[in-house]
Amino acid sequence: MKKGFMVVFDGSNGAGKTTVIKGVEKYLIAKGYDVLLTREPGGTPIGEKIREVILDPSTPEMSFMTELMLFGAGRAQHIEEKIVPALAQGKIVISDRFDAATFSFQHYARGIDLDTIMKINDLALAGFSPDMNIILDLDPNEGLKRVHSRGEGLDRLEDEKADFLAKARNGYLAQAKQTPERFEVIDAAQSKENVLTDVIRVIDTLLEKHH
């Protein structure tokens, strides 16, 4: 049986993650692959409940440590309940955000020290790691414009200041620089079609490597 692998789409809010994931799913299904779409925070029934707590705009008082540990708790459940079994069945797992977001938002943007982040994240991951992170890189102001044009309200994390979102963006770029073998950065300011073309080039390389 073909071995599964996991690709994460990450980047600024409104960069086009959900849009491009739909295109990638279509592409892979047309080629006959078994695909599992998932997301963080969320991905499991417990994880989706945790997501509601994390993103609830009515509780801005949430402490940074609470937030970090909730992300970690959801991730532990996600890996054990959903991701590892799907990979064992040979599926291609695609997640809308994963652990790179924790480094970008909780470390680079919130300023929680790296040691603390690594402790919680290592506990949550328990040795697991996604095969590739595809970062959709976009000026967060452009991302916010896209989110506004989508016509939904802002969640607790989208409602942060521009400076916070810029730091998170730089956090993704810093991680890509540090571990280039696990990151691809795509220019998300391009048209939807061109973003998808660039992404599919990365996906094709992964398919060659894993199948």
Ligand X SMILES: Nc1ncnc2c1ncn2[C@@H]1O[C@H](COP(=O)(O)OP(=O)(O)OP(=O)(O)O)[C@@H](O)[C@H]1O
Partner interacting with residue 195 (select from Mg ion, ligand X, none; CB below 5-8 Å by kind): ligand X
Task: Compute the CA torsion angle 121, 67, 51, 38 (nearest 10 deg).
Answer: -20
Judged by CB under 6 A, the stretch of 13-21, 71-79, 127-135, 166-174 that binds ligand X is 13-21
Beta bridge partners of 137: 187
43 binds ligand X (CB under 6 A): no
26 binds ligand X (CB under 6 A): no
In this chain, which of 5, 6, 8, 14 binds ligand X, going by CB under 6 A?
A: 14
Question: What is residue 79's DSSP assignment?
Answer: I
Partner interacting with residue 146 (select from ligand X, Mg ion, none; CB below 5-8 Å by kind): ligand X
Cα–Cα distances (Å) from 181 to 35, 42, 123, 204, in that order, read 23, 26, 23, 16
Q: Residue 75: helix, strand or coil by DSSP? A: helix
Q: How far is the CB of 88 from ligand X (least distance, A)?
A: 28
149 binds ligand X (CB under 6 A): yes
Question: What is residue 109's DSSP assignment?
Answer: I
Residues 171-200 that bind ligand X (CB under 6 A): 190-192, 195
By beta-carbon proximity to Mg ion, the closer residue of 112 and 157 is: 157
Closest CA to 105 of 40, 19, 46, 186: 40
15 binds ligand X (CB under 6 A): yes
Partner interacting with residue 19 (select from ligand X, Mg ion, none; CB below 5-8 Å by kind): ligand X
The residue assigned the tokens 């970062």 is 135
Judged by CB under 6 A, the stretch of 7-15, 112-120, 161-169, 174-182 that binds ligand X is 7-15
Closest CA to 124 of 38, 40, 60: 40
Segment (H or E) for 207 = helix 192-210
- Name the site residues for Mg ion (rule: CB under 5 A): 17-18
- Name the site residues for ligand X (rule: CB under 6 A): 13-19, 146-147, 149-150, 190-192, 195
